[in-house]
Amino acid sequence: MLNLKTSHKSGPFSVAYLFVSIISWSFFVEVDAHVGAWHKGMYCMKGNVEGNDDQNTSAVLQPLYNLSKADWWFHHVNQCDEFPPAPGDFLEIPANGKFTVEHANNRAFTTTAANPVLGTFVDGAEHPNLGITDDGKDGGCIVNPNIHTQNETMAAGTAFAISYQSDSSQVTPENLVVFSVLYNTPWQRLATYESPDLPACPAGGCICAVNVTSCGEPNMYMQGYRCIVTNVNPDTSRILAPAKPAVWCEEDSTKCQGGSKQMIYWNQLDGNNIHVTGYDKFGRPKSPGYGLKLGFENGAQHDIFLP
Q: Which residues of the chain have pLDDT under 50?
A: 1-33
Neighbours of 256 (CB within 10 A): 18
pLDDT digits (tens, 9 = 90+) for 222-281: 999 999 999 998 887 899 999 999 999 999 999 999 999 999 999 999 999 999 999 999
User: Rounded to 5 degrees, what angle do the CA atoms 280, 156, 90 make?
Assistant: 150
Residue type at 274 in one-letter notation: I
> Which of 264, 260, 266 shows the shortest CA–CA distance to 244?
260
Element (H, E) at 69: helix 69-72
Question: What pTM was computed for the model?
Answer: 0.88
CB 229 within 8 A of CB 95: yes
Residue 257: the pLDDT is 97
Tens-place pLDDT, residues 174-202: 999 999 999 999 999 999 999 999 999 99
| Predicted local distance difference test score (pLDDT) of residue 12 | 34
In DSSP terms, 222 is beta-bridged to 211
List CB contacts of 299: < 8 A, sequence separation 6 or more.
Answer: 180, 181, 182, 194
At 75, phi and psi to the nearest 5? 60, 45
Q: How far apart are CA 300 and CA 197, in angstroms?
A: 9
